[in-house]
Amino acid sequence: MAIFGYIIMKKMVFDLVDEVWDAGDELVVKDKGAEEHIPLSDIMNISYSMFTNPQRVTLMLRRPSQFGQEISFVPPARVYPFWRSPIVDELIQRVDATRRR
């Protein structure tokens, strides 16, 4: 049973970065003391899973960062957890707008 619990935790929690901050035309990602600035133009796809606990946002990058090709984080907590996150929706729109330039 402990092995099963470890596998679930590894898949759902252990890969989450510590912090992701919006800095306008880039995201600042921090994990275990390391920091990297990811331009919005380097984000290929954003997936948002609101029916998992914790909720997760996964960024797929065009080229690997020091944190890998995919970066997962927990979005800010919300009062109504089953509604789409306006922060994530706005980020998706901004990445799309950057891609169209």
Q: Give the pair of three-digit tokens for residue 13.
A: 């929690």
Task: Report H helices in 1-101.
Answer: 2-9, 86-100
User: Under CATH, which number does the domain 2-100 receive?
Assistant: 2.30.29.30
pLDDT for res 77: 78
Residues of the chain below pLDDT 50: none
Residue 73 and residue 84: Cα distance in Å, rounded? Answer: 16
pLDDT for res 26: 96
Q: Are 49 and 56 in contact (CB under 8 A)?
A: yes
pLDDT for res 71: 96
CA atoms within 13 A on the CB side of 94: 16
pLDDT for res 82: 73
pLDDT for res 83: 78
The dihedrals phi and psi of 99, each to the nearest 5 degrees, come to -65, -35
